[in-house]
């Protein structure tokens, strides 16, 4: 299976010009570029090979929902993937119930939904079994696995420079797949130095990359590595 690299740019870069430049430099077939909403269209316009993703979606179709973006709006921009339940959004108060509704709304219009799950450090420290149980709890609302991808992102590894042990990540990916049989990504401080350790695990379908994806050179190096698998 081909490994896919998902570039979650988060709230970067600052201008459309920079976004377009980064998109051009990252435009390869097995990449999904996930820019901030205001740059989706400009990025889409320059992509020839990579796919387009969005960082979030709302669950209602239209109406009085200040600040929200509907699944249809994303579809019309030719967005293929959408991230749901990222730990940076859960931290802002997004509940499992909201995430479940977003998953449904996204898949209902044919978007591929990347559901992020992962444990905080306190849970991780308590050991493997507790970690797995914690992740399982985040699955209780999954009803339909069509168009679903799961990203295992330990909260303590996102943006911290700390990684999960690739063997642990593979074990969690196996555990996830034993509950719901969908592709599983790993995310959390991946870069060109550790990408291979995760990508070589057969259970890991690709990476959800934050920081390293907004550094064009670093991302290109990771693409080169992913191509070997």
Query: Pick from 53, 71, 154, 211: which binds ligand PGA (CB under 6 A)?
Result: 211
Across-strand partners of 112? 81
Query: Pick from 153, 154, 201, 222: which binds ligand PGA (CB under 6 A)?
Result: 153
- Specify whether the CB–CB gap between 114 and 151 falls below 8 A: yes
Any contact of residue 188 with ligand PGA (CB under 6 A)? yes
Any contact of residue 189 with ligand PGA (CB under 6 A)? yes
Using CA of residue 165, residue 54, residue 84, residue 155, what is the dihedral sign? Answer: positive
Q: Which is nearer to ligand PGA, 143 or 217 (CB)?
A: 217
Any contact of residue 85 with ligand PGA (CB under 6 A)? no
> Closest separation between CB of residue 68 and ligand PGA, Å?
21
Q: How many residues bind ligand PGA (CB under 6 A)?
A: 13
CA separation for the pair 49, 46 (Å, rounded): 9
Catalytic (active site) residue 218: no
Q: Which is nearer to ligand PGA, 131 or 190 (CB)?
A: 190
Q: Which is nearer to ligand PGA, 94 or 108 (CB)?
A: 94
CA separation for the pair 51, 27 (Å, rounded): 8
Which of the residues 61, 153, 167, 196 is marked catalytic? Answer: 153
Catalytic (active site) residue 86: yes
Phi-psi region at 30: left, alpha or beta (left = phi > 0; alpha = psi -120 to 50):
alpha
Helix (H) or strand (E) holding 143: none
Helix (H) or strand (E) holding 63: none
């Amino acid at each position: 299976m081909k490994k896919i690299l998902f570039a979650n740019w988060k709230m970067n870069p600052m201008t459309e010009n920079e976004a377009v430049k980064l998109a051009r430099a990252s435009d390869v077939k097995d990449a999904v570029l996930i820019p901030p909403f205001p740059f989706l269209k400009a990025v889409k316009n320059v992509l020839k090979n990579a796919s387009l993703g969005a960082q979030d979606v709302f669950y209602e179709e239209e109406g009085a929902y200040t600040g929200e973006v509907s699944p249809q709006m994303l579809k019309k921009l030719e967005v293929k993937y959408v991230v749901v339940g990222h730990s940076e959004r859960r931290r802002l108060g997004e509940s499992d119930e909201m995430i479940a509704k977003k998953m449904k709304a996204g898949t209902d219009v044919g978007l591929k939904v990347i559901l992020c799950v992962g444990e905080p450090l306190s849970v991780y420290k308590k050991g493997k079994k507790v970690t797995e149980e914690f992740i399982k709890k985040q699955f209780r609302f999954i009803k339909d696995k069509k168009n679903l991808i799961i990203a295992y992102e330990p909260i303590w590894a996102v943006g911290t420079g700390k990684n999960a042990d690739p063997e642990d990540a593979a074990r969690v990916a196996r555990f996830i797949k034993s509950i719901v049989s969908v592709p599983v990504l790993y995310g959390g401080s991946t870069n060109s130095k550790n990408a291979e350790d995760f990508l070589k695990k057969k259970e890991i379908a690709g990476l959800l990359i934050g920081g390293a994806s907004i550094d064009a050179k670093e991302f290109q190096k990771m693409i080169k590595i992913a191509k070997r698998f």
